Amino acid sequence: MLANGFYPDTISSDVHALCINGPAFDQVMSKFLCLGMPLGDVIAASTANAAFAARRLELGSLKPGSPGDATILSVKEGRFDYVDIVGEHLTGNRRIVAEGVVIGGRRWHPRPSN
C-alpha cells in the first residue's frame, strides 16, 4: 500500500502484551520512514493525526494553549535492522532517534542515578 502512496492515518508503537520484552520496543516511525513514507507524514501520523483519532485535540500540537510536550528527534543515517513481533526483519538506512523531551514547555533532564 505504501508503494502506491497510501499511508496510514496514524502510527503508534509495535509494543503489546506479546512483545513487552522484545523484539519490538518502540514506535514504528523508523520502519515507515525506511519503507518510503515521507518524514513529515510519519511525524503527523504519530502526533496530530493520532491525537485526532484519540479525540485528544489538545495533544499532538505545539500551538498556543497546548500542553507543550514534545520529543526532540533526529534522523540518523546508517544500516539498521528492524524486527517485528513475528521475527520478520527489515534492513533500513535511516532511524528516527529521540534526542530529548520537552514537558510542559520545558526541556526535561533525567536525574543522575546514584
**Residues 97, 114: Cα–Cα separation, whole Å:** 26
pLDDT digits (tens, 9 = 90+) for 35-69: 999 999 999 999 999 999 999 988 888 888 888 88
Report which secondary-structure segment, H or E, holds 53.
helix 48-53
- 10 Å CB burial of residue 83 (0-12, 13-18, 19+) is middle
State the pLDDT at residue 16.
Answer: 67
State the pLDDT at residue 82.
Answer: 87
Task: Give the number of other CB atoms < 10 A from CB of residue 24.
Answer: 19
Which grid cell sits at 28? Answer: 514504528
Say which DSSP state 26 is in. Answer: S
Residue position matching grid coordinates 479525540: 55
Q: pTM of the predicted model, to two decimals?
A: 0.81
Written as one string, the DSSP assignment of 58-101 is: TSS--STTS---EEEEEEEEEEEEEE-TT--EEEEEEEEEEEEE
State the pLDDT at residue 26.
Answer: 62
State the pLDDT at residue 77.
Answer: 96
pLDDT digits (tens, 9 = 90+) for 10-35: 988 766 676 667 666 666 899 999 99
State the pLDDT at residue 23.
Answer: 64
